[in-house]
Every structure is written in structure tokens, then in C-alpha cells.
Amino acid sequence: MTILHEMEVEKSLYSDHEIGLKEDKERIQRQQSENYDSDDEDSGKRLMTLEDLEEIWEQKFKQFKAGPRVTDADKKNDRMSLNRKLDDNLVLLVKEKIGNEEVWLLPQVDWQCGETIRQTAERALAAVSGNHIQAKFLGNAPCGFYKYKFPKAVRTEDNVGGKVFFFKALLQSGDLSEVKNKEYVWVGKDELKDYLKPAYLTQVDRFFLGL
């Protein structure tokens, strides 16, 4: 019978918790039977049943109170904080000097010969964050690109413009609070218009639909 029981447990569709509940019930039934011998049970058997644990969990759940969705960073409109707009996904923007103008952009660096474009994207994030954040890049192909023309003063016959390729990455840990040499913000999709130039926003907004 023991072997059959073990095979049934191994091949059953019960979860470990459900199997534990079943074993607890069987043990209690044995203890309540007239032929029960305490020596038949392991002395180290758990004293608390899973049913007892379920009751404890239920009581803790009833006492649980969710934290406020509006944070201090929301109240202060602190856009350098990740602890804001908790119901939304946030995007990292950094201020860069392009020519004589300072503009807000998604993190970017020039491609270097020998790199894949994903490696360039990873280097761009590392350059901005100083390796203070860890992120998971989603795939090896870009999710979009922005095509632009250089100012007339710097155009050449063979080089009139460029492309910026974008990758999506999910923040896993860390923050930018220790980064001192960069201006940055974490913003929601509805706030991008406060920072990005219209032509740039029009292009990148296409792959922000999933935010």
C-alpha cells in the first residue's frame, strides 16, 4: 500500500500544499482512532497543521492594509524619483548637449566599430548610470528608430544625417540617486511632451504604445 500511495502522490496533480493538507487530515484521523499508537508517528512531525497556517494567513490578510498609491514624490512632483506614478511605467530621459543646445533625449551614445547595436545600447545605459542600475534588455533587435538630418553647416555629400536605434529594457535594481554629472528624469508616457521636441516625440511615440 505504501508504494502505491507514493506513486499516487508523485503522479497526482495536487500541489505540495494540498498533499500536505491531505496528510494532516489522515494523521489526525489516525490519532483519533481507538487503535492509535503514538510510537507510529515521528516524534519530529510538525505540531502545527497546514490548516492552522491557513487560518494564520487569513488573519494576517484581513489585517493587511495597502500603502497609499500617492507618494511624497508625487506630491512634490519629484521626477528624479522612481517612487512616483506607481500605477504607470516610467521612462528614463537624460539631458544632453547637442551642438550649442541642451535637449532631453532617451539615453544614447555613438556606435563603435565592432559593436552590435544592442551592445551600444547597453553601453549607453552604463554611461548614463555609471553602472548604478541593472536592467534587462528585451531582445537583440531594436524596437524602433529615429531618423534625422544634420544641421546644414555640418552636412557632407556622403553624410547628411543619422539614425538612432532604440531598445527596451526593464529596470531590475538600483537607482540614479548617486549620479551627479547627469540631469535625468523618470517620466510617464503622458509627461514625455514636457521634455521631448515634437519631431523627436512623434518618432519615438510609436514604440511607446506599450507603456
Question: What average pLDDT does the segment 152-175 reach?
Answer: 84
Confidence of residue 162 (pLDDT cuts 50, 70, 90): confident
Q: Which three cell numbers stand for residue 188?
A: 510617464
Global pTM reads 0.67
- Whether the per-residue pLDDT at 197 is higher than 80: the answer is yes
Q: What pLDDT sits at residue 153? A: 73
- Whether the per-residue pLDDT at 159 is higher than 50: the answer is yes
Q: What pLDDT sits at residue 44? A: 45
Q: Which amino acid, one-letter code, is at 142?
A: P
Confidence of residue 191 (pLDDT cuts 50, 70, 90): very high
Q: Which CATH class is domain 73-208?
A: alpha beta
Question: What average pLDDT does the segment 90-117 reach?
Answer: 90
End-to-end CA distance of the chain: 56
Q: What pLDDT sits at residue 184? A: 94
Question: What average pLDDT does the segment 55-70 reach?
Answer: 83
Confidence of residue 79 (pLDDT cuts 50, 70, 90): very high
Chain mean position to CA 153: 43
User: pLDDT tens-digit profile of 100-109?
Assistant: 788 999 999 9
Cβ(85)–Cβ(72) below 8 Å: no
Q: Which amino acid, one-letter code, is at 210?
A: G
Question: What average pLDDT does the segment 176-194 reach?
Answer: 89
**Structure-model confidence comparison of residues 157 and 79, the more confident one:** 79
Closest CA to 169 of 107, 79, 78: 107
Question: So where are the chain's domains?
Answer: 2-63, 73-208
Q: What pLDDT sits at residue 54? A: 81
Q: What pLDDT sits at residue 28? A: 74
Closest CA to 40 of 51, 53, 26, 52: 26
Question: What average pLDDT does the segment 136-153 reach?
Answer: 84
Q: What pLDDT sits at residue 155? A: 78
